[in-house]
Structure 1
Amino acid sequence: MKANPFQSHLLSNMKYMWLFIVSFTMIIIIILNSQVFIFKLWTKDVYSDQIKQRIDLTYWRFNYTDPDDLDDILSLKKPNYLKTYKNPCWHEALYGSHSSNIKFVLRCLPYFYLIGADKCGTTDLFLRLLKHPEIIKTKAYFSKETMWWAWTRFGYSVFTRGLSPTHFLGYLKIFNSAITQIQARNDPEDYHQCIIGDGSPNALWDFTGWNKIPQNHGLTLPKYLTPHCIHHLTPDAKLIIILRNPIDRLFSDFLFVREKHKAFKPSQRVRSRENFHVQVVNATNNLKKCIHKNSLKYCLFNKIFHLDSFLRFEVGFYSVYLKEWFKVFPRNQFYILRSEDYRENMKKHIKNIFKFLNLTKLPESDLNKIKVGKLINTRRKDVKHVKPMFNKTRKLLKDLYQPFNNELAVLLKNDKYRWET
């Protein structure tokens, strides 16, 4: 039976219509997918403009082959810090299972560091600085010490090594609670004025992890130290240092540290001026033996030497360490004071440090409240029975430290740092 000419024409047109519909649908799908792709790229570019940097998921994550591998800080790219934050903060992009699932997390590093020295009044000073409303407390020990730059990132502690290292992310997490407050507190122009600090007093002097910094591998003396690592990430960091007569500092440290660390034998834990004298003699003899074969810097920067001494007398060589910091940071980024001057005029120095940190000026009444109260972390009642050190011990330490005190006075252009009286 012959097909109706009309039916044949209709069937032919339907074929073309279906072909048109399929082609049109495919074109629409292609266009829509292209728009989605373009939109994703556009939104990523917009985010890049907003945060000034596209930070990959691997920004602070290192390729660890072993959990005890150390972070290579000097290989990190310095973040482009947000201009609306006074504190060095940046947005980090975290990607989900799909590339379009982007979550931005605010990360921050300290605006300032109180880097030392131990038993010089760092705790009292730092806790009084925290009373300024623009300095936010962190989850650091005593709201002050992370011990990360000198110790925990290398798996060290006082008189201890071989611990599992704390990685960079662990350091950043210490500041998470403070970051929430920094983020929430802003002025009408959306500028975030609040800051955080790290008050680890061992950062000034303990460079014993230098041989674990990858850029120092194969060297007999370090090329890169803690100052280089901090400067690499926060070159504008403010640095505060409070120093004390190294002789008095050592005796105070002897009474403070010795009582609580299992590294000491029972006989070494005795807190007396007799035991202090014995330990000073041993430590000075060990130093003489070490520098007979090596340089002073090699000995002071050597973890084994620190562990063998059982007395942190190496802290008092202030000029040796300060010269390393001055090689990296300009002098105007330091505020340096003596413990003796801080005790004599606390209000003056706190006021000056607030100015140094570019914080909002406080009324005199607020400054008076901040200086009120006894000094924190001074000698406790259970060691007040210990008599002052022997004169012969003081003379031995004066002979040891005086050349370096003189060097420090020249370095800081202030004869008070000779501690001659």
Structure 2
Amino acid sequence: MEKITKTNFPNLFIPGAAKSGTSTLHDLLNQHPEISMSSTKEPFHLVKDNFQFNVDKFNLKYQALFNNLENIKYKGDSSTGYMLFPNFIENSKTHLKFEKKFIFILRNPIDRIYSHYWYIKGLGSESLDFKNAILKDKNIEPTINSMLPEGKFKNYFQYGLYSKWLEKFRSNFDSKDLKIILFEDLKDNPLDTVNECLRFLNLSELSTLNPVESNKTVLLRHSYIYKNVLKITRSKFKLLKPISFLIPTRIKNNISEYIFSKTKSNKKYPKLSAEDRLWIADLYKDDVLLLKKNTTIDFSKWTDFNHYV
């Protein structure tokens, strides 16, 4: 059999940060005729433990996720864990021997961590109160093995240490291939912000965008039902594994989406208290100061940190 050429792998990554608008940016970039973002938003293929031994297998897995028309210049993967997981940089440098672009979308880390917490809690996967949940794994760096059985990640604090993780990319890739944008800018001016990304990719700009708002943090009614459906579809119940493997992935995804749609509520999660907001700002201030020092981006919209110098 002829050896598979590794042409199906993505050359555009949105590695993070989680709960910062990565899903929305993923869907907006996918509107460009020369970009094909993966049909599964977070495949996590490049950080799988067996990736280096099964490169050709993952090449085929990627093939199924992209539009492979000749005019496509960028195939994109928005697995947010790539920003943190230690083997992503190693695997991408070792096995993807072509030019790659990285777009990081960052959100005020206070708002990001609170949304992350309520996202997990709203899905029924967090029992601790906010402060104790943050402190529980505050100093633990996540890996792909940190994934919960239902496919989600905690490690709330670590996901917001932007400067820490960006430094690893700056040390391993050319600065011309790295682009940072802000969630707040994407929210306020989506077309301008997307076109800024397209200029970075040397692609034609768009005159209009179809509005999207993806992966919003929601509170579910009877969240335990959705949580257990995710576990079943991900083959995490030993007794049900044989049955789960017989069900096509598309059908399992449709089941999960259906249960989600039927259990989501219109309830809003409570506003973060001023006291907790100051507490989180103090935890992140050093990292944000480094971020300001090492980039030329205007972070004035992160008003919690404007008085830190």
- TM-score > 0.5, shorter chain as reference: yes
Partner of 1:107: helix, strand, or coil? coil
* AA aligned opposite 1:181: N
Question: 1:402 aligns to what?
Answer: 285
CA displacement at 1:384 relative to structure 2: 3.4
1:355-412 CA distances to partner (integer Å, 9 max, x unpaired)?
A: 22222444x2xxx2x1x42522223363733211222221211111011000011111
Question: 1:60 aligns to what?
Answer: none
Question: Which residue, out of 189, 208, 214, partners 1:376?
Answer: 214
Question: 2:117 aligns to what?
Answer: 254
Question: 1:226 aligns to what?
Answer: 88
1:174-233 CA distances to partner (integer Å, 9 max, x unpaired)?
A: 332466733xx3xxxxxx5533111111101232xxxxxxxxxxxxxxxxx422321232
Question: 1:324 aligns to what?
Answer: 168
Question: 1:171 aligns to what?
Answer: 58
* AA aligned opposite 2:73: C
Cα gap change, 1:114 to 1:343, in 2 (>3 Å)? same
Cα gap change, 1:106 to 1:278, in 2 (>3 Å)? closer
The answer as to whether partners of 2:142 and 2:158 remain within 8 angstroms in 1 is: no
Question: 2:49 aligns to what?
Answer: 154
* AA aligned opposite 1:149: L
CA displacement at 1:313 relative to structure 2: 1.4
Whole-angstrom CA distance in 1 between matches of 2:161 and 2:91:
22
The answer as to whether partners of 2:110 and 2:280 remain within 8 angstroms in 1 is: yes
- Across the aligned residues of Structure 1 and Structure 2, the Cα RMSD in angstroms comes to 3.2
Question: Which residue, out of 25, 31, 34, partners 1:131?
Answer: 31
* AA aligned opposite 1:356: F
Question: 1:314 aligns to what?
Answer: 158
Question: Which residue, out of 133, 138, 141, partners 1:300?
Answer: 141
The answer as to whether partners of 1:138 and 1:174 remain within 8 angstroms in 2 is: no
After TM superposition, the score normalised by the length of structure 2 is 0.71
Whole-angstrom CA distance in 2 between matches of 1:110 and 1:261:
33
Question: Which residue, out of 239, 258, 280, partners 2:134?
Answer: 280
Please tell me whether residue 201 in structure 1 is matched to residue 80 in structure 2.
yes
The answer as to whether partners of 2:26 and 2:37 remain within 8 angstroms in 1 is: no
Whole-angstrom CA distance in 2 between matches of 1:281 and 1:354:
39
Partner of 2:102: helix, strand, or coil? strand
Question: 1:121 aligns to what?
Answer: 21
CA displacement at 1:235 relative to structure 2: 4.7
Whole-angstrom CA distance in 2 between matches of 1:180 and 1:126:
14
Structure scoring higher RCO (CA < 8 A, sep ≥ 6) equals 2
CA displacement at 1:336 relative to structure 2: 0.6
CA displacement at 1:418 relative to structure 2: 8.8
The answer as to whether partners of 1:129 and 1:350 remain within 8 angstroms in 2 is: yes
Question: 2:184 aligns to what?
Answer: 340
Cα gap change, 1:418 to 1:235, in 2 (>3 Å)? farther
Whole-angstrom CA distance in 2 between matches of 1:415 and 1:180:
35
Cα gap change, 1:178 to 1:403, in 2 (>3 Å)? closer
Whole-angstrom CA distance in 1 between matches of 2:97 and 2:79:
16
CA displacement at 1:131 relative to structure 2: 0.8
Partner of 1:327: helix, strand, or coil? helix
The answer as to whether partners of 1:130 and 1:136 remain within 8 angstroms in 2 is: yes
CA displacement at 1:117 relative to structure 2: 0.8
Whole-angstrom CA distance in 2 between matches of 1:315 and 1:106:
30
| 249-258 or 231-240, which deviates more | 231-240
After TM superposition, the score normalised by the length of structure 1 is 0.53
CA displacement at 1:331 relative to structure 2: 1.0
* AA aligned opposite 2:78: G
Identify unmatched segments of 5+ residues in structure 2: 220-264
The answer as to whether partners of 2:17 and 2:159 remain within 8 angstroms in 1 is: yes
1:291-319 CA distances to partner (integer Å, 9 max, x unpaired)?
A: xxxxxxxx536789999x95421111111
Partner of 1:240: helix, strand, or coil? strand
Larger C-alpha radius of gyration, 1 or 2? 1
Whole-angstrom CA distance in 1 between matches of 2:9 and 2:144:
27
Partner of 1:387: helix, strand, or coil? coil
The answer as to whether partners of 1:255 and 1:383 remain within 8 angstroms in 2 is: no
The answer as to whether partners of 1:118 and 1:201 remain within 8 angstroms in 2 is: yes
* AA aligned opposite 1:240: I
The answer as to whether partners of 1:120 and 1:249 remain within 8 angstroms in 2 is: yes
Equivalent pairs: percent with the same residue?
Answer: 22
